[in-house]
Structure 1
Amino acid sequence: MVGIKFKDTGDHSVGLTEAQLNAVIDIDPELVRLGYDVVGRQKKESFRQAWRNHWRAACWSIFLTSALFMEGYDTAVINSFFGLPAFLNSFGIKVGTKLTIPANYQSGLTNIAYVGQCIGLIINGWCQERFGSRKAFIGGMIVMTATIFLAVFAVSLNMLLVAELAMGIPWGMFQTLSTAYAAEICPIQLRGYLNAFASVGYGGGSFISSGVLKACSTLTGSMGWKIPYMLQWVWPVPLATGCFFAPESAWWLARKGRFEDAERTITRCAKPGFYAEREAAGFVAFMQHTDALEKVEASQGSWKEIFKGVNLRRTEIMLGVWGVQLWNGNIITGLTVELLENAGMSVTGAFDMNLVLSAMAIIGVMISWFALSRFGRRSIYLTGILLIGSCLLPIGILGFVDETPSTARAMGGLMVCINLLFHISLGPVCYSIVGELPSSRLRSRSIVLGRFFYLVSAIIGTQLRARMTSVDSWNWERPLLILAKSALFWFGCNLTCLIWTFFRLPETGGFSFAELDILFANKVPTRRFKQFKIRGELAFYIFVIY
């Protein structure tokens, strides 16, 4: 087989590399053309048209992503437990006149869940590619149901450590499974929005937990902290049952050689009659074609290929995008309840503030969808980092003034702003980028690796945060002002993130997976992805079969 090359149309155009041209496979050329026609039509759709034509795919993506409500819920619960009277009465120790959870257990309860999530990520990196998204999801829900028992019947902090470790395993599976699934099942114009919905899961779960904890804040018995755990049993059964009827990713089916099943999935995920005769088959041929291009750099789809050739650059960007999501400084808002209580705010008032922070997460994602329709992923990421930094600096300055109720309210207001800005920009757009960035053959493993890096960073970050703010750790007598001064440390991290993003993060929105493969294969500079025209947009080459 021979690929017909294109003429050079200018300094800012790229096409298939020689290695990609040599990777052609025996597919009907007319089907390939039909596949590129389908992709070209997807790129021209507005959001409204894309939703009208592919609402079924969008709904299935949202359904599987809703599993992240569980993780957002429990992560917020365990952090807020440290200021919950019922939890303090059961597990707290006295420091002066106040009950508190020791700093080592505060960081331990948070970080042990991260360790479990790391284990779950590794498991999902293997299971999702081997068994498909549906089977991996259902298996994770079965494990989730069992592990909740450990938390509900815990009688010591050590037992809670084991429970958080066990629950973290299925959470880790859901974190990346839903992102990879959304990226592959949704059309180009919905891909960014539906990947960003993952942030709604975390924010929505946190919002639900805030309401539950506010209701339980007046309870002093053990049920005051057990009820929030028990409510997690609401999720697994309906989610697992619904997933049984969900379509499998057509991209995964194509990689496994199940082309007829992939064609049925494509037809099922669009409105009836959307695809003309042979168009669904052509779209499957496009997937085969893209897979052939990616075999140049990832013939086995293995872990080690993530660090080879062109994929090494993609991996570095993947790690950076996940790292920026944590080290931008938003982590400072994680212990708002405990800090505001230490500043003199009532328990009810502190939990009201936590409810506001959680609401900002949901509102922010809705605004981010508007931003995604107007601006590129790179622009939103840069702007988000810059604006969060502009809030961190005033908080740091407040650490050098007298500690008063007005200071606490000012810090609370700035934390709300940081939370809103994060959920407009870095929170949701991170998922849009990481779902598009890897090659299809390495997508699940690459996202797993990036999230693994995020969790390791989170362990380090939460250790620092707990020791910066806990009254029994570094012997701070004025924790509110120490929190404020710690914002200067996070401001420095924020500047580092800004510099990396400017020089290393390319624009990924609006491209098909094959087009991104070509841009990376041609080593297009980071800040020029949108400036380069990809030659042969609807058909990269014609197969000539001898």
Structure 2
Amino acid sequence: MGALFYIQGVPIGPVAVSLALVASMGGFIFGYDTGQISDILLMPDFLLRFAQCSTPGVADTCKFSTVREGLIVALLSIGTLVGALVGAPTADFLGRRYAMVSECGVFIVGVIIQICAFSSWVQFAIGRLVSGFGVGALSAAVPMYQAETAPPQIRGTLTATYQLFITFGILVAYCVSIGAREIAGSGSWRTVVGIGIAWPLVLSTGILFMPESPRWLARHERYDDAMISLARVRGVSRADAPNHMLVQKELEEIRSMEEYERKIRGGWLECFRFGDGQKTGYRTLLGMALQSLQQLTGANYFFYYGATVFQSVGIQDSFVTQIILGAVNFGCTFGGLYVMERFGRRFPLIIGGVWQAIWLFVFASAGTAGDPQNEGIGKLMIVSACLFILGYAMTWAPGIWILIGETFPTRSRAKQGALATASNWLWNFLIAFFTPFITRAIGYRYGYVFGACNLLGALVVFLFLYESSDISLEAVDQMYADPNCKPWTSRRWAPPGYVDRKDLIGQSRAAEGQKPLASGALEETRVEKAEEGGR
């Protein structure tokens, strides 16, 4: 084994990339399940079986009631909310990898319940609820596992692959749906749903070949295993790990923080502790707010009901429009990987919130002021929706999942991540269930609501979010605990012993090359050792 490539002069092993891709299948499962329902709701056999038909046997006369449509779409989100909360103790007890395996099993059970439904829409909805348990637990475990295991130099990019795979899953669901709709009878929608079994099988098998989170291992005092885990993601051999300066430096940082946190570890109430000097409660509320605001950007308005929305503006084949939106979403997320790594977390989220608000205002204004059936108005609405998705895919979509993995302390990361993710799923359910009611009441003016929420999100990021790029998870804890550091000055903050974050990067390079620098913690440590040797 050796380094696959170097970032900032620091080695990155092939396992680091592999674990990000394999674990991100959890995001693919989420995306596929999200993307499929919009098109399934329009399939003739599905309508005949589960909708209310004025003329039996004629699909064109079948229509879902607002409540039934909302429940079929939204019960997944109720399951994910519960799953996210259950996923925290599961990930802490079983470990991040085995938790994912068990959660994949739950998702498969839900899929089987759905494809076995024949005439009861309630059974199909319950199947989505059960699948939601698995999706929600995975949404808490995967970003946490990626953030805890990935090297700091590429943590943002690797964690953002979770969102990339969500968008990929949505796009694949759209493509499968447009192919499967020609299958006669129930094979159309059963094929789309049944293929979903393949994705958790890939995740549950592949994750067993990946290393466990070094921070979870350290929490259980398995420091030798934690060292091997760190070495594997760095491309360092097991034999070289005990003498590798960078691996030992990271291990010592994790050990020190774990020994400190072991003294103060608590239960769920610990997540809401204020005045502890660590901003624990502050970070919990911030994570919950950011996850809620990600849903309130309005993205799932298009993903859940996009086919219905574009059908209403006169698009003949709304399935094709869904694929266009899905392709924009997937393609632009690649840009998001670069943006979040190159420009940090705060700046892209602020700019993204403003950009998304602008295009939602255009979308709502066009649909409200003119006739959506007009060709020009319809095209303007589609273009504005695509430009909204462009901004979302490059900023708020990957950025929030990155922050959930790197904002919280190790002692309560699973619980805080679960609470934040549960907030996402709560708003996911509310939007999925109430959107049909709201759109029938206020039409496209709904876009104004989402536009305002995007501006609120940009303001929350500016006032409360600390910049956590380029530093270790343990250093993030120190940053939030520093009373002299403010969110708007956090980009310049660096751990004690470093001049700034550029100096921190230089120290990491020196540690890899075992070359002393003129300033910083590395040089100070060597001077101390030299003095001790001379006594």
Q: Which runs of 5 or more structure 2 residues have no equivalent in the other structure?
A: 499-519
Q: In structure 1, how many angstroms separate the alpha carbons of the residues matched to 2:196 and 2:297?
A: 30
Deviations 1:469-498 (A, max 9, x none): 35xxx5xxxxxxx54222122222222222
Q: In structure 2, how many angstroms separate the alpha carbons of the residues matched to 1:305 and 1:382?
A: 30
Q: Residue 328 of structure 2 aligns with which residue?
A: 360
Deviation, 1:239, is 2.4
Deviation, 1:132, is 0.4
Q: In structure 2, how many angstroms separate the alpha carbons of the residues matched to 1:63 and 1:48?
A: 25
Q: Residue 285 of structure 1 aligns with which residue?
A: 252
1:311 alignment partner AA: T
Deviations 1:350-379 (A, max 9, x none): 111100111112211111122124312100
2:8–2:153: 8 Å Cα contact kept in structure 1? no
Q: Does 1:350 align with 2:318?
A: yes
Deviations 1:86-127 (A, max 9, x none): 322322224796432221122112221111112211221001
Q: Residue 302 of structure 1 aligns with which residue?
A: 267
Deviation, 1:256, is 0.6
Deviation, 1:313, is 1.2
1:305 alignment partner AA: E
Q: In structure 2, how many angstroms separate the alpha carbons of the residues matched to 1:48 and 1:145?
A: 41
Q: Residue 432 of structure 2 aligns with which residue?
A: 462
Deviation, 1:216, is 2.1
Deviation, 1:425, is 0.6
Q: Residue 413 of structure 1 aligns with which residue?
A: 383
Task: Name which of 324, 345, 352 aligns with 1:384.
Answer: 352
Deviations 1:414-449 (A, max 9, x none): 111111211111001111212110011111111111
Deviation, 1:76, is 1.2
Q: Residue 395 of structure 2 aligns with which residue?
A: 425
Task: Name which of 16, 22, 34 aligns with 1:57.
Answer: 16
Q: Residue 225 of structure 1 aligns with which residue?
A: 189
Q: Does 1:258 align with 2:222?
A: yes
Q: TM-score, normalised by structure 1?
A: 0.84
2:25–2:200: 8 Å Cα contact kept in structure 1? no
Task: Name which of 509, 514, 517 aligns with 2:469.
Answer: 509
Deviation, 1:202, is 1.1
Q: Does 1:316 align with 2:300?
A: no
Q: Does 1:123 align with 2:91?
A: no
1:501 alignment partner AA: V
Instruction: Please give the secondary structure, in 2, of the residue aligned with 1:535.
Output: coil
Q: In structure 1, how many angstroms separate the alpha carbons of the residues matched to 2:215 and 2:469?
A: 19
Deviations 1:271-292 (A, max 9, x none): 2457571533443222111223
Q: Does 1:169 align with 2:129?
A: no
Q: In structure 1, how many angstroms separate the alpha carbons of the residues matched to 2:270 and 2:375?
A: 55
Q: Residue 484 of structure 1 aligns with which residue?
A: 444
Deviation, 1:78, is 1.4
2:29–2:200: 8 Å Cα contact kept in structure 1? no
Deviations 1:181-205 (A, max 9, x none): 1001110011000111111121111
Q: Residue 12 of structure 1 aligns with which residue?
A: none
Indicate how the Cα distance of structure 1 residues 510 and 277 shifts in structure 2: closer, same or farther if over 3 A, else same: same
Compare 92-101 and 191-200 and name the one that shifted more.
Answer: 92-101
Q: Residue 35 of structure 1 aligns with which residue?
A: none
Task: Name which of 505, 509, 532 aligns with 2:493.
Answer: 532
Q: Which runs of 5 or more structure 1 residues have no equivalent in the other structure?
A: 1-41, 475-481
1:142–1:236: 8 Å Cα contact kept in structure 2? yes
2:361–2:447: 8 Å Cα contact kept in structure 1? yes
1:329–1:388: 8 Å Cα contact kept in structure 2? no
Q: In structure 2, how many angstroms separate the alpha carbons of the residues matched to 1:148 and 1:532?
A: 47
Deviation, 1:268, is 2.4
Q: In structure 2, how many angstroms separate the alpha carbons of the residues matched to 1:182 and 1:242?
A: 14
Q: In structure 2, how many angstroms separate the alpha carbons of the residues matched to 1:95 and 1:417?
A: 39
1:369 alignment partner AA: L
Compare 403-412 and 445-454 and name the one that shifted more.
Answer: 403-412
Instruction: Please give the secondary structure, in 2, of the residue aligned with 1:376.
Output: coil
2:299–2:392: 8 Å Cα contact kept in structure 1? yes
Q: Residue 14 of structure 1 aligns with which residue?
A: none
Task: Name which of 72, 81, 86 aligns with 2:45.
Answer: 86
Deviations 1:124-166 (A, max 9, x none): 1001111201211111122222222100011211111111111
Deviation, 1:295, is 4.8
Q: TM-score, normalised by structure 2?
A: 0.85
1:85–1:218: 8 Å Cα contact kept in structure 2? no
2:26–2:162: 8 Å Cα contact kept in structure 1? no
Deviation, 1:332, is 3.3
Q: In structure 2, how many angstroms separate the alpha carbons of the residues matched to 1:104 and 1:394?
A: 29
Q: In structure 2, how many angstroms separate the alpha carbons of the residues matched to 1:233 and 1:58?
A: 24
1:325–1:427: 8 Å Cα contact kept in structure 2? yes
Task: Name which of 352, 355, 363 aligns with 1:395.
Answer: 363
Q: Residue 455 of structure 2 aligns with which residue?
A: 495
Q: In structure 2, how many angstroms separate the alpha carbons of the residues matched to 1:47 and 1:483?
A: 49
Compare 495-504 and 270-279 and name the one that shifted more.
Answer: 270-279
Indicate how the Cα distance of structure 1 residues 489 and 272 shifts in structure 2: closer, same or farther if over 3 A, else same: closer
2:332–2:394: 8 Å Cα contact kept in structure 1? yes
Q: In structure 1, how many angstroms separate the alpha carbons of the residues matched to 2:7 and 2:62?
A: 52
Instruction: Please give the secondary structure, in 1, of the residue aligned with 2:369.
Output: coil
Instruction: Please give the secondary structure, in 1, of the residue aligned with 2:62.
Output: strand
Q: Does 1:451 align with 2:451?
A: no
**Identity of counterpart residues, as a percentage?**
20
Q: Residue 142 of structure 1 aligns with which residue?
A: 105
Q: Residue 519 of structure 1 aligns with which residue?
A: 479
Q: In structure 2, how many angstroms separate the alpha carbons of the residues matched to 1:193 and 1:533?
A: 21
Q: In structure 2, how many angstroms separate the alpha carbons of the residues matched to 1:390 and 1:358?
A: 20
Indicate how the Cα distance of structure 1 residues 385 and 95 shifts in structure 2: closer, same or farther if over 3 A, else same: farther
Q: In structure 1, how many angstroms separate the alpha carbons of the residues matched to 2:250 and 2:451?
A: 47
Instruction: Please give the secondary structure, in 2, of the residue aligned with 1:529.
Output: helix
Q: In structure 2, how many angstroms separate the alpha carbons of the residues matched to 1:83 and 1:411?
A: 21
Q: Does 1:440 align with 2:404?
A: no
Q: In structure 2, how many angstroms separate the alpha carbons of the residues matched to 1:405 and 1:468?
A: 25
Indicate how the Cα distance of structure 1 residues 343 and 530 shifts in structure 2: closer, same or farther if over 3 A, else same: closer
2:13–2:233: 8 Å Cα contact kept in structure 1? yes
2:144–2:414: 8 Å Cα contact kept in structure 1? yes
2:18 alignment partner AA: C
Deviation, 1:254, is 0.7
Relative contact order (C-alpha < 8 Å, sep 6+): which is higher?
A: 1
Equivalenced residue count is 487
Q: In structure 1, how many angstroms separate the alpha carbons of the residues matched to 2:84 and 2:301?
A: 25
Indicate how the Cα distance of structure 1 residues 344 and 90 shifts in structure 2: closer, same or farther if over 3 A, else same: farther
1:86–1:222: 8 Å Cα contact kept in structure 2? yes
